[in-house]
């Protein structure tokens, strides 16, 4: 190889003739082409891919901006740089200039949230603290603004470098909007789309000042402190229960079933007695409720005192309880022989089970029972 060929090869290697950015990341906003000390060749090819913009910077001054496509760098195509360089009649020699590529893609699924609770005055709950979080997407709307105000001479500028500032803007605007909107906390969920759109509009100007545009903004959740949510759950439960009398009866029925299955309360017999007591209480409550309703219906709603409750008896047969039975039924069972004087019985108000012949109110039924018939004649 001759001396001329070596010089030619050296010049070619020192001059840059293709400038491009094959972005393989998802979070890079600005990337500076690594020119080092090389010069850009006259007529070099600038390749700007879809979703990119390229900006030429000469000695700290922004020059020409190129959008997607293949561009040949010559006097006709870079008028601002030509003016800055003073190339009145074109140029034939290489030149030095910084090339910055700016990504115009959508940076999606960016998270935002309140670090500390926001104090609000709610119409229903009064002073209250709320938290909120969501997501947003943004893109570069003005590449020159981004380069001037944010990345400047940095060789690489990413989403992470600006995300904290954008989140601060969102939280500030969120606090302002939710305070002025005066939407009750319990109604925020039903107005989530409208609330998100209102916040979106309020942040457009501040994002645009940095050269960005919000493409999507979502409020995913507005939450109350855990202790307040717990009280709301109780309030909701009470609303679902509705009639407290019916709920009490239902709870007592469950208690009876549990007690009947519990053999640790002194044996099955004691469990049965407990179950009968609870059942009797529930029966009396239900009977009283029906008597009150009937009395009000019969008297046109007058508040007359209800009649005394009817006595309810339980009997023990082979270690199991039966009943309750009213006095008329007990009388029939005594006449039929199902109940004898030795039958164990219990009613509300008794301390424990006792034989039937010890109950004063049943004595008349036993006295009216005829003796056993005489044996047949021989």
For the segment 208-219, the average pLDDT, to the nearest whole number, is 92
pLDDT value, residue 259 = 62
Q: pLDDT class for 269, splitting at 50, 70, 90?
A: very low
DSSP for 89-102 reads TB--S-B--EEEEE
| Geometric angle at alpha carbon 27, from 21 and 31, rounded to 5° | 35
Q: pLDDT class for 244, splitting at 50, 70, 90?
A: low
Q: pLDDT class for 308, splitting at 50, 70, 90?
A: low
Q: pLDDT class for 86, splitting at 50, 70, 90?
A: confident
User: Does the predicted TM-score (pTM) go above 0.75?
Assistant: no
pLDDT value, residue 36 = 67
pLDDT value, residue 13 = 46
* 3-state SS assignment for residue 337: coil
Is 262:271 a contact under the CB 8 Å cutoff? Answer: yes
pLDDT value, residue 8 = 43
Is 205:214 a contact under the CB 8 Å cutoff? Answer: no
Angle between helices 192-210 and 159-181 (to 10 degrees): 130
pLDDT value, residue 22 = 93
DSSP state of 270: H
Candidate ranges 28-37, 45-54, 59-68, 363-372; pick with highest mean pLDDT: 45-54
- Cα(330)–Cα(320) distance, integer angstroms: 17
């Amino acid at each position: 190889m001759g001396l001329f060929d070596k010089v030619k090869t050296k010049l070619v290697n020192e001059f840059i003739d293709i400038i491009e950015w094959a972005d393989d990341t998802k979070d890079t906003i600005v990337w500076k082409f690594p020119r080092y000390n090389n010069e850009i060749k006259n007529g070099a090819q600038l390749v700007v891919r879809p979703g990119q913009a390229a900006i030429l910077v000469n000695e700290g001054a922004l020059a020409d901006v190129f959008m997607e496509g293949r561009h040949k760098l010559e006097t006709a195509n870079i008028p601002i740089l030509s003016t800055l360089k003073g190339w009145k009649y074109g140029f034939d020699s290489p030149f030095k200039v910084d090339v910055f590529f700016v990504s115009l893609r959508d940076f999606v699924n960016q998270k935002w949230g309140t670090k500390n609770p926001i104090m609000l005055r709610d119409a229903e709950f009064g002073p209250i603290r709320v938290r909120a979080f969501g997501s947003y997407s943004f893109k570069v709307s003005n590449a020159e603004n981004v380069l001037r105000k944010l990345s400047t001479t940095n060789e690489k500028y990413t989403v992470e470098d600006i995300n904290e500032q954008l989140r601060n803007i969102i939280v500030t605007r969120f606090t302002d909007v939710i305070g002025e909107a005066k939407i009750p906390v319990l109604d925020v969920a039903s107005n989530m789309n409208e609330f998100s759109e209102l916040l979106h509009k309020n942040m457009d100007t501040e994002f645009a000042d940095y050269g960005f545009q919000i493409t999507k903004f979502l409020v995913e959740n507005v939450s109350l402190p855990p202790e307040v949510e717990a009280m709301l759950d109780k309030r909701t439960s009470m609303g679902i229960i509705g009639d407290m009398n019916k709920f009490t009866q239902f709870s007592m029925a469950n208690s009876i079933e549990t007690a009947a299955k519990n053999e640790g309360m002194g044996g099955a017999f004691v469990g049965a007695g407990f179950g009968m007591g609870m059942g009797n209480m529930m029966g009396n409550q239900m009977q009283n409720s029906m008597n009150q309703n009937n009395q009000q219906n019969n008297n046109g709603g007058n508040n007359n005192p209800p009649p005394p409750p009817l006595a309810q008896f339980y009997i023990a047969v082979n270690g199991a309880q039966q009943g309750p039975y009213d006095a008329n039924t007990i009388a029939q069972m005594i006449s039929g022989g199902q109940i004898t004087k030795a039958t164990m019985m219990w009613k509300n108000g008794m301390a424990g089970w006792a034989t039937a012949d010890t109950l004063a109110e049943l004595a008349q039924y036993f006295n009216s029972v005829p003796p056993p018939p005489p044996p047949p004649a021989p």
